[in-house]
Amino acid sequence: MQRFGRFLMACSLTTVGLTGTAQAQSPGTDNPFAAQFTAGPTFGHVFDVSFGVELDYRLGTEWEIFIEAGRMRNVATSALDAAARTIVNNLPGSSAEVGQLSNYVDVGVKYLLVPVAGGYQPYVGVGVGGAQIRKDVKFTVGGSELTEEELLTRYGVQLGNDLAGLTNRPIFVVLAGVSRDFGGRAFVDVSYRYGAIFPKKDSIENDKITNTNRVQLGIGLRF
């Protein structure tokens, strides 16, 4: 994970350096659309990575509509850790590997601030959408990984919705970033995005908001 972070930072600095030498070009009405591929680290209770795509449509000089979709490979929470630890503490010789994958899609709007430093475009925005959470908790006893069925038949342990299964939930996203055009229609975008994935209290007792944090680098084209 540290190597990935250093690689991403090197890519970001290299790209920003290259764009700094390019002629600044303001996206005009001729190219109101933009598409980009994004990747970067996720952090919070655990560290991992996310990958995604984004499509933007510019409305004048101050507003931009966006839709993004992607996957965060692990957004496990302290509550998930605690639930797994309860089973481990009551199952001698066992251990647990906790994971929680999230696919997301959201639609929102960006407010484009005044460009700075000869062409860097800062922005802030919000989005709403849906996130699919899949819990992936692996239990090992005596060095052997067990399936949910084996946990139940051998040890009488039935995993509940707090440790297994898939749920669909609303997500609210707040973002801030900066983009820079280079080489004509190409651009680079660096942003931070906080996503609040809302709880599923109707099926998971005492469920809470899943807080997600993404720092992502985007490379794309305007058209």
What does the pLDDT look like over 83-110, one tens digit per residue? 999 999 999 989 999 999 999 999 999 9
Q: What mean pLDDT comes out for the span 118-147?
A: 95
User: Sign of dihedral through CA atoms 116, 69, 198, 73?
Assistant: negative
What's the pLDDT at 39?
Answer: 98
As a whole number of angstroms, the distance between CA 4 and CA 83 comes to 30
Identify which of 180, 184, 171 has the alpha carbon closest to the alpha carbon of residue 217.
180
Q: What pTM did the predictor assign? A: 0.83
59 near 112, Cβ under 8 Å? no
Task: Give the E-state strand segments of the chain in sequence order.
Answer: 33-43, 48-59, 63-72, 94-112, 120-141, 144-146, 166-182, 186-197, 210-222
DSSP conformational letter for 163: T
pLDDT tens-place string over residues 208-217: 999 999 999 9
Decide if pLDDT at 10 tops 70: no
Question: In terms of C-beta density within 10 A (0-12 exposed, 13-18 middle, 19 or more buried), how is residue 197 classed?
Answer: buried
pLDDT tens-place string over residues 36-71: 999 999 999 999 999 999 999 999 899 999 999 999
pLDDT tens-place string over residues 156-200: 999 999 999 999 999 999 999 999 999 889 999 999 999 999 999
SS3 label, residue 74: coil
Band of pLDDT at residue 29, cut at 50, 70 and 90:
low
As a whole number of angstroms, the distance between CA 176 and CA 126 comes to 9
As a whole number of angstroms, the distance between CA 47 and CA 211 comes to 13
Q: For the chain, what is the mean pLDDT?
A: 89
**Which tokens sit at 109?**
């709007």
80 near 98, Cβ under 8 Å? yes
Band of pLDDT at residue 203, cut at 50, 70 and 90:
confident
What's the pLDDT at 21?
Answer: 39
What's the pLDDT at 109?
Answer: 98
pLDDT tens-place string over residues 142-153: 889 999 999 999
Fold of the 2-19+31-220 domain: Porin (2.40.160)
141 near 152, Cβ under 8 Å? no
Rounded to a whole number of angstroms, the distance between the first and last alpha carbons of the chain is: 34
What's the pLDDT at 77?
Answer: 96
What's the pLDDT at 6?
Answer: 47
